[in-house]
Amino acid sequence: MSFVLTFAPAGMTAAKYNEVIKLLIAAGAGTPKGRSYHVCYGDSNAVQVTDVWDSMEDFQAFGQTLIPILQSSGIDPGQPVVQPVHNIITG
């Protein structure tokens, strides 16, 4: 079962987001297994992130790389809103 995870980290700017993406790519986690969709959106001073994951296990495995990168960047991701996917339509 797929899941949607939405994050609204306090103080997450577009610049901090861009730095985290660079660090994830450098760590080999730019396109992690099980993540089928990623979007960053909102005001450049308070961006949010929504991901669709094939399973919570895949997301948790990615978190082992993501969380230390966020912490080293001074970002507290908070707790995501997690919801099961009912349907996905592409195109």
* Residue spans per domain, the chain: 3-84
pLDDT tens profile 9-51: 988 999 999 999 999 999 999 999 999 999 999 999 999 999 9
* Structure confidence at residue 10 (pLDDT): 86
Phi, psi at residue 90, to the nearest 5°?
A: -110, 150
User: In the CATH scheme, what is the code of domain 3-84?
Assistant: 3.30.70.100
pTM for this model (two decimals): 0.92
Whether the CB-CB separation of 47 and 41 falls below 8 Å is answered with: yes
